[in-house]
Amino acid sequence: MLEFYKKALLVLLGLLIVSAFAAYLCVQRAFLQWPLLPADTSAIPWEAETESDRNRGGLSTVEIHDASYSLDFELFLSPAVDYAQASLSLVFKDQSGEPTLKDLASFDRLTFNVKCAPSNVLGFTVFTFDRQLTEPGDYFTYRAPSAYFSCSDQWREVEVDLTRLEMPQWWLDAFEIDLSMKGYDLAKVAKVMFGSTFQSPMETDSRVQVNELTLHGRDWRYMYLLAMLLLVAWAVFGVWLFRQHTKALVSDLRSKLHKDRPLVAYQQLSVEPKRDKDKDAILRFMATEYSNPDLNLEGMGAAIGVSRTKINDILKAELGFTFTGYLNKLRLTEAARLLAEAPEASVSEIAYSVGYKNVSYFNKLFKDEYSCTPRTFKSLYEKAPKDSES
């Protein structure tokens, strides 16, 4: 059994290491963090674009100072038209540099650091594709849920909940959409935008700086995959462990059984029985009469003409047992042989055949000797492959 325990321990350690490595990889991929800055290492390719109210005859402007390592831009809002507006957008691109739609459904948060001079209230907007209304390239037809944040001349961290953005009422009114239809689909996003609001300062240069722009989310598919892999791996390990333990236990029991066979034990005595009649008589008598349920020390002594004291002394010296201990050894060894070689016989029949009148007592002695009940011993031998006997 020692070899089995060593092998099982090595396999267990290996499985623990593999499980830990798989868990690390899956957790890393399940809890997403996609930085959008710097631009050249962004998880999603994008290109900065500016927009203002000039297409409506306004005079508002946007000037980009940096769109590579951070978003550093300057807004100037003019009251020349109603609803003055200026913004900087991150337009998502494909590998060829063409505008494309990105799946952000796995993300629930966007975080960034922001600083403004002077203080400002800005909007963050996500442009999502609407199957009923959107015309590709016309951003006015995209659903544009938004969130708002304030900033000052001190850096602060902002967290935007992408699952709770607000649809502007004017957009719903423009397309005559019911006010209850405020949902949006982050699976098709064309761009995200930082822009002015009606609370932004007018007729003054407003500088905005954004860095550490990062999308956060969860892709539970990796956790489901991890759970499935661990379940399968540990189930396979459990089946293997059970089978190997059964095989090792059967092998160990067979070894013990063969070692303890009465005839073998008798032949391996250190004395020569023919030159010691008392020892020869004791061992031969017990080897043939152990199945007698009424066998006792007094009766044996009377039968072979040897005192009970001398019987115990001889057994102790030769085998290390008392009369009762050696008698139980003989009976239990024969019982184990019958359990292994006579599958049609019941446990109680075998107990009676080797000299026990009480099956419960037999079960207790057998478990003490072989570390399993007779029924388990019998079952192990029935399930063990035949080639393991060799």
Instruction: Please report where in the chains the tokens 């031969």 appear, as a residue.
Output: 284
Question: What local confidence, expressed as pLDDT, does residue 74 receive?
Answer: 97
Helices (H), 31-106: none
Percentages (nearest 5) of helix, strand, coil residues in the chain: 45, 25, 30
Mind listing the pLDDT tens digit for each residue in 254-271?
777 666 654 444 444 444
CA 172 to chain centre: 46
Question: What local confidence, expressed as pLDDT, does residue 386 receive?
Answer: 52
Mind listing the pLDDT tens digit for each residue in 165-205?
999 999 999 999 998 999 999 999 999 999 999 999 999 99
DSSP 201: P
Amino acid at 106: S
Contacts of 276 (CB under 8 A, 6+ apart): none
Q: Where are the domains of the chain?
A: 36-218, 261-389
Question: What local confidence, expressed as pLDDT, does residue 263 receive?
Answer: 42
User: Cis bond leading into 45, ω under 30°?
Assistant: no
Distant-in-sequence contacts of 282-285, Cβ < 8 A, 24+ apart = 282/306, 282/311, 282/314, 282/315, 283/318
Architecture in CATH for domain 36-218:
Sandwich (2.60)
CA neighbor of 74 nearest in space, from 86, 87, 63: 63
- Three-state DSSP state, 341: helix
Question: What local confidence, expressed as pLDDT, does residue 94 receive?
Answer: 92
Q: Note the pTM of the prediction, 2 decimals.
A: 0.62
Question: What local confidence, expressed as pLDDT, does residue 195 receive?
Answer: 97
- Three-state DSSP state, 317: helix
pLDDT below 70 — which residues of the chain?
A: 257-275, 383-390
Length of the chain counted residue by residue: 390
Question: What local confidence, expressed as pLDDT, does residue 130 receive?
Answer: 94
Work out the angle between the directed axes of helices 323-341 and 277-289 (0-180°, nearest 10): 40
Work out the angle between the directed axes of helices 308-319 and 297-304 (0-180°, nearest 10): 100
Question: What local confidence, expressed as pLDDT, does residue 36 receive?
Answer: 97
CA neighbor of 153 nearest in space, from 123, 120, 122: 120
CA 111 to chain centre: 30
Question: What local confidence, expressed as pLDDT, does residue 268 receive?
Answer: 44
Which superfamily does 261-389 belong to?
A: Homeodomain-like (1.10.10.60)
> What are 78's two structure tokens?
């003019």
Q: Report whether 335 contacts 361 (CB < 8 A).
A: no
Helices (H), 121-219: 169-174
β strands within the chain, DSSP E: 31-35, 46-52, 61-66, 71-76, 86-92, 107-117, 120-128, 146-151, 156-161, 189-196, 205-218
Instruction: Please report where in the chains the tokens 């063969």 appear, as a residue.
Output: 258
